[in-house]
Chain A
Amino acid sequence: MMLTLIRRELLDNLMTFRFAVAVFIMLFLVVANTAVLIKDYERRLAGHKTEVQKSRKYMLDGKTYSVGELNIDRPPNPLSIFNAGLDKRLGNEIWVYYGHVPTLWDAEKHSSQNPFMNILSSIDIVFIFEGVLSLLALIFAYDTLAGEYERGTLRLVLTHPVSRGYILVAKYISAMVCLLVPLLMSLILAMFLLTTSASFSLSMPDFLRIGGIIFASIAYLSVFYLIGMLISAMTRRTSTALMLSMFVWGFLVLVYPNMIVAVIQPSNPPEERRASVHNHIKQIWEEFERERKQFLATDRHLEGDPYGNMRWRGGYNFEHFQDKASVLQHYYYAGAEIDGFHEEPESQALHVQNYHRFLVPLIIDTAERTWRIREPVLEELFILPATIDRAWLRLSPTGIYDVATQALAGTDLQGMQDFFTAVQQHRQSVIDYYYDKNAFGSRQWFSADKETVDWRTLPQFIFQRSDISLNVQRALPDLFLLLTLNIVLFIGVFLIFVRREV
């Protein structure tokens, strides 16, 4: 009986014009967009590669330790094609300096692109699914019960000894099968395009992540189909059901996600908080500056200016504070690259070496101290509001789906943080390397007159995207939310349909 019902529904659905339209529109949108997104990814990857080479060259060009330009470039995430998340938006170039703990708020955009291109939005595959899949699901669902009721066929079916639950399940299964056809077809074509593109190297875990995204898409599709069914079960006329579905779609997909983010105040802790913490950090650095001055005063060879008493031939030195109050960035930036001295200032050089042996550990130490203050405040100023936003977004299935797929693709905030944590670890290993080499107390720290630094032995930066299990773990709450929503909606449809008079 069940099979007969399913077969009937399936044939009903497959032979319709809307099915043809559904397949056509999904294929068209997904394929066209994937082609654009692949090109975009290739461009970003090429940019990343040039940047890596360039920063390698810059690093090798640095003759002394203190001017080593250690830039790290964030590679684009290939799964950003599915959900771009924060991958394109955040800075992708970060500088590793021993005197400052790098975070995503310190990152810059590499080789700045045309600022007028930033205003062009681009849509990813999940965005298409968010909008179009849900619309298709509602179009398939709005008349599934109301239509049969109107035509009177529902009465006919119910004269047979079938339970109403069976009818619902049959309708649900057959419609989902019909909706899965365009979804899977378009995804397969997209995957085909991805695998033929030379620049994509998707690993096994990546395919699993994509599998997770497909699973989330199916759950999302099902949520909207059930919403449509619910509306269809509640109303007695197809036209009413249709209007309600369309407006529900407009609200849940088009309006709510945009409205809620605009409405909730980016709960900025008052500007004073930011300012007071910034001042606190500044004070710590002032303390450092006093200590530095004190040290310089005790050594009469230095007399306040370590480089002033040397007569050097070429090169440069600099020391100043870097400051960016908006992200609580404040640190001491110093370095020197001296090509040679006019007369052999051996004793003087020893004093300068001594100065650095004292100074650099102090800088590192102060950077650690300020980091302990800065980290929780960054969390409070930036991450907390973003988390609250995302919590509000979850009131719409579209928001849940978006958050879940971002987590799976690794383009969510945590995925981005992974990279910056890796950079912080890299900074630590660079500092350890300096300590090992006794770089601070060496002549190569500031002068390139005798020998230059061999950067090739420096530890390499390696970044592995987080483990798939971690991605799944991050997406799991939202996936559960989607599934729960499915169950709740199904029970709702069932209850309404069972109690309904035909």
Chain B
Amino acid sequence: MWHIAKRELYDNLNSLRFALATVLILALMLTNAIVYLREHPARAQAYHNAAANATKTVEARSTSLYRLAAEGPGDLHKAPSPLRFCAEGDEAFLPTHAGGSNFFPGIANVRPIWRMIYPQETPHLFNIRPDFTTLDWAFIVGYVLSFIALLFTFDSISGELERGTLRLTLANPIPRHIVLVGKFLGAFISVNIPFAVAVLMNLLLISTSDAVQLNAEAWGRLGILSGIVILYACLFIALGLLISAAVRESGVSLVVLLLIWVSFVIFIPNTLASIGSRTSVPIAYMEFWSRRIQLGNEAREAYRDKYGDSQTPPPVHVLGEYVTSEAEAYERFNEAYLKQQIEQGKRARAIIRISPTAITQRLFESFAGTGFERHLQFIENVQRYAREYREFVIDTDRADPESLHVVGIQEGMSQKPVNPKAIPKFKDTLSLNRDFNTASTDLLLLVLFLMVIASGAYLAFVRLEI
């Protein structure tokens, strides 16, 4: 078997395609590193500044507990992933922050309190540069590596069959599956050598640069990503062997492989999603918006009906009740809508999983900490922080015996100054555990794909008549 693998390897290493593949992948990986090193420091700096500003804003509000309770924690920013060179994840199209706001209509003499707002707007509306796909690892692996894997394998059986050398090989006392495994190994090594060289160069550039520091977790994630690359490359090599054995003619085998490649790599990930998004459409934004306004109006009217006519203001706890319930209802409504939107996004992304390329793209995003799933983690972090922040306000208020414990009303809250350092800080953390959880289905699917195609290749080769 090693003999066969070695033979294949020598064959491949001396070929034109090996040289071309090496040059192509190397150029792509170097571009990737250069672009990343150019852009990432600015991105990290922008996040750093925004986060520092946000902290300052909150600390400025710590003059009184009421201000903290009414104005909220301000904007919460999403931390950029240091592994963005692995998968860009269309981060440019996702919101970069969420935040608390209290700019809403109030009632007589009482200002409303903050609630969480999830931005709707699409950033970069004025980007008029040509449309292009970012050259991240996901693209290089998903598109280019798969293409190269097919080019290495399309003739590995049919070519030998045509030249008659396969007959010669099989005349030796070796079982067929050994021949197949040998061929597989040969192709696998020759596809992975250029890629490994390119990845090492890429990582070398990134790790030697002072601008970016990758920590141990990031390296662990890179290791997982390399594993995924290997799985994905195996899949396409197995596919190449399968078609090569099934079709018997190199020319035809290449055409069939390219057909499959175009459909699964280009077509399905790009087009099927928009079909999938129709299954679970959230209510129209305008409708949501007007319903939300109505919600506020109803709350205010209910209040006016009860207390609007009396000359003396209602007791503090009534006002407190009003502001908290109004903000809560608003936020609940917002979150319900956000949930609908997320649901639609999930459905759209689920349907494209019939393509291994789309699965790999998702896996890359999961482990690189970018894209949709990462945004969901950010939203979870934001919601957790909002709870923490509210609890902090309530607890601080409780600690003051002089307070009336009515949150959201100036007179009802503790008048003591708040220690700005005690306010909880927002941390946008990523958990590798959770990433594994979301990725496990995709990983299993990818393995399943590989097993089906590999056994197909085996059957096709064993039953091949020479």
Among the interface residues A89, A132, A327, which one has the most CB atoms of the partner chain B within 10 A?
A89
Check A120 against B348 for contact (C-beta < 8 Å). yes
Please, how many angstroms separate the alpha-carbon atoms of A108 and B252 in the complex?
A: 50
Given A119-B94, A254-B147, A259-B28, answer yes or no on A25-B126 (Cβ-Cβ < 8 Å). no
Stretch at the interface among B262-270, B293-301, B311-319, B397-405: B262-270
Stretch at the interface among A160-168, A302-310, A382-390, A437-445: A382-390
Stretch at the interface among A176-184, A238-246, A483-491: A238-246
Confirm or deny: B106 has a beta carbon within 8 angstroms of a beta carbon on chain A.
Answer: no
Question: What does the 1/0 interface line of A401-435 toward B look like (CB < 8 Å)?
Answer: 01000000000010010000000000000000000
Given A36-B271, A131-B262, answer yes or no on A413-B128 (Cβ-Cβ < 8 Å). yes
Given A117-B345, A122-B270, A247-B24, answer yes or no on A383-B90 (Cβ-Cβ < 8 Å). no
* Chain A 90-106 residues near chain B, CB threshold 8 A: 90-91, 104-105
Check A114 against B129 for contact (C-beta < 8 Å). no
Contacts of A259 on B, CB cut-off 8 Å?
Answer: 27-28, 31, 135
Check B24 against A90 for contact (C-beta < 8 Å). no
Check B128 against A111 for contact (C-beta < 8 Å). no
Given A117-B345, A250-B144, answer yes or no on A108-B121 (Cβ-Cβ < 8 Å). yes
Confirm or deny: B101 has a beta carbon within 8 angstroms of a beta carbon on chain A.
Answer: no
* Chain B 101-140 residues near chain A, CB threshold 8 A: 119-122, 125-135, 139
Question: What does the 1/0 interface line of A254-296 toward B look like (CB < 8 Å)?
Answer: 1101110111011000000000000000000000000000000
Check A390 against B371 for contact (C-beta < 8 Å). no
- A262 nearest CB across to chain B (Å): 5
Contacts of B371 on A, CB cut-off 8 Å?
Answer: 119
Given A18-B252, A86-B128, A118-B122, answer yes or no on A123-B271 (Cβ-Cβ < 8 Å). yes
Confirm or deny: B258 has a beta carbon within 8 angstroms of a beta carbon on chain A.
Answer: yes
Contacts of B38 on A, CB cut-off 8 Å?
Answer: 265
Contacts of A242 on B, CB cut-off 8 Å?
Answer: 254
Check B344 against A382 for contact (C-beta < 8 Å). no
Residue among B28, B31, B147, B344 making CB contact with A114, cutoff 8 Å: B344
Confirm or deny: B274 has a beta carbon within 8 angstroms of a beta carbon on chain A.
Answer: yes
Give the A-B contact count at a CB cut-off of 8 A: 189
Which residue of B is nearest A88, CB measured?
B131
Question: What does the 1/0 interface line of B24-43 toward A look like (CB < 8 Å)?
Answer: 10011001001100100000
- A397 nearest CB across to chain B (Å): 15
Check A112 against B122 for contact (C-beta < 8 Å). yes
Please, how many angstroms separate the alpha-carbon atoms of A393 and B89 in the complex?
A: 24
Please, how many angstroms separate the alpha-carbon atoms of A290 and B293 in the complex?
A: 38
Contacts of B120 on A, CB cut-off 8 Å?
Answer: 112, 115
Confirm or deny: A121 has a beta carbon within 8 angstroms of a beta carbon on chain B.
Answer: yes
Contacts of A89 on B, CB cut-off 8 Å?
Answer: 125, 127, 131
Confirm or deny: B1 has a beta carbon within 8 angstroms of a beta carbon on chain A.
Answer: no
The majority secondary structure among interface residues of chain B is helix
Please, how many angstroms separate the alpha-carbon atoms of A18 and B250 in the complex?
A: 12
Check B274 against A120 for contact (C-beta < 8 Å). yes
Stretch at the interface among B205-213, B282-290, B326-334, B432-440: B282-290
Given A251-B24, A257-B132, answer yes or no on A118-B274 (Cβ-Cβ < 8 Å). no
Which residue of A is nearest B155, CB measured?
A239
Please, how many angstroms separate the alpha-carbon atoms of A54 and B289 in the complex?
A: 13
Which residue of B is nearest A138, CB measured?
B258
Given A131-B266, A240-B16, answer yes or no on A107-B24 (Cβ-Cβ < 8 Å). no
Confirm or deny: B2 has a beta carbon within 8 angstroms of a beta carbon on chain A.
Answer: no
Confirm or deny: A67 has a beta carbon within 8 angstroms of a beta carbon on chain B.
Answer: no
Besides the contacts A116-B372, A257-B132, what 9 more A-B pairs have beta carbons closer than 8 Å?
A: A29-B263, A32-B271, A50-B284, A89-B125, A119-B345, A119-B371, A246-B151, A254-B147, A261-B132
What are 25 A-to-B residue pairs whose CB atoms are below 8 Å?
A25-B263, A29-B263, A29-B267, A36-B275, A90-B125, A107-B125, A108-B121, A108-B125, A112-B285, A114-B341, A115-B120, A116-B94, A116-B348, A116-B375, A117-B348, A119-B89, A119-B94, A120-B348, A123-B271, A244-B16, A254-B147, A257-B130, A257-B132, A258-B135, A389-B130
**5 tightest CB-CB pairs across the interface, nearest first?**
A116-B345, A112-B120, A118-B93, A119-B90, A261-B132
B-side residues, CB < 8 A to A, are 15-17, 20-21, 24, 27-28, 31, 34-35, 38, 89-90, 93-95, 119-122, 125-135, 139, 143-144, 147, 151, 155, 159, 250-252, 254-256, 258-259, 262-263, 266-267, 270-271, 273-275, 277-278, 282, 284-286, 341-342, 344-345, 348-349, 371-372, 375
